[in-house]
């Protein structure tokens, strides 16, 4: 049989691969949604061009001024509605995700809660995550999925919580104080956010988190 340390490392890798697969599936889903939005926008652009041609026709028509004015007002309203439709389709629906990791092992005072800063950004589609503060700021409203992984050494602990606008929305336990080997823990929490809401991971009880990209904080809009 495999040595415990090798088996643990394999389990850790499987957990991370599963999480990456979930992110890829979500991004693929959002990509198809964006493609559909582009198709709808093209349809809307075609309708707008048609309305603009109608405007030109009415401007040059020999109909009475009142009739022309009324038709122009109606056409202008149609153009505004089409513009809003196209704008709505183009905003807030593109793929939105980030992935940040801890580059160096960090030590904490066990009983002092601190914001966990994942200092290395692997990708961030909207520049919404800060590698200085560890805080993600939602650029658009929607349902978001957040997941964070923690690797702690033997005899160490890092219990964490997901904080949204200063309020706890999820808990993660990674207590390895009684075990001889490394322990990898993963947590996933869905959260409905408004634009401008902030999200970060904070320690509850903890004194250690392994770096070298083993511990991560990821999020994406569903």
pLDDT digits over 93-109, tens only?
578 999 999 999 999 99
The helix-helix angle for 4-59 and 65-90 (nearest 10°) equals: 170
- In this structure, the strands spanning 136-137 and 198-206 are antiparallel
Where is 199: in which H helix or E strand?
strand 198-206
Rounded distance, CA 107 to CA 210, Å? 9
- At 110-163, the pLDDT tens digits run 989 999 999 999 999 999 999 999 999 999 998 999 999 999 999 999 999 999
Q: Residue 47: which of 74, 86, 73 has the closest Cα?
A: 86
Q: Please check the confidence at residue 91 and state whether its pLDDT lies above 60.
A: no
What local confidence, expressed as pLDDT, does residue 80 receive?
Answer: 61
- Helix/strand number for the chain, H first, E second: 2, 11
pTM, to two decimals = 0.62
- At 12-47, the pLDDT tens digits run 667 667 767 766 776 777 677 767 767 776 776 777
User: What CATH class does 96-221 carry?
Assistant: mainly beta
What local confidence, expressed as pLDDT, does residue 189 receive?
Answer: 92
What local confidence, expressed as pLDDT, does residue 38 receive?
Answer: 72
**Which residues contact residue 90 at a Cβ distance below 8 angstroms, ignoring those fewer than 6 apart?**
37, 41
The token pair that represents 77 in the structure block: 């309203």
């Amino acid at each position: 049989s495999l040595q415990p340390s090798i088996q643990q490392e394999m389990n850790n890798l499987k957990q991370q691969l599963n999480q990456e697969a979930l992110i890829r599936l979500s991004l693929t889903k959002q990509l198809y949604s964006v493609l559909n939005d582009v198709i709808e926008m093209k349809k809307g652009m075609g309708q707008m061009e048609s309305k603009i041609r109608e405007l030109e026709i009415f401007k040059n028509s020999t109909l009475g001024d009142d009739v022309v004015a009324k038709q122009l007002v109606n056409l202008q309203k149609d153009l505004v509605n089409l513009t809003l439709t196209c704008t709505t389709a183009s905003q807030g629906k593109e793929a939105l995700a980030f992935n940040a990791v801890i580059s160096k092992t960090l030590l904490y005072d066990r009983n002092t809660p601190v914001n966990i800063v994942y200092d290395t950004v692997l990708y961030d589609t909207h520049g919404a995550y800060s590698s200085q503060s560890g805080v993600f700021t939602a650029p658009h409203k929607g349902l978001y999925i957040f997941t964070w992984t923690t690797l702690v050494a033997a005899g160490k602990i890092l219990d964490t919580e997901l904080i949204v606008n200063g309020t706890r929305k999820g808990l993660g336990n990674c207590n390895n104080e009684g075990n001889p080997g490394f322990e990898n823990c993963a947590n996933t929490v869905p959260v409905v956010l408004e634009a401008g809401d902030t999200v970060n991971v904070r320690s509850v009880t903890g004194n250690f988190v392994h770096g070298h990209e083993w511990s991560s904080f990821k999020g994406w809009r569903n």
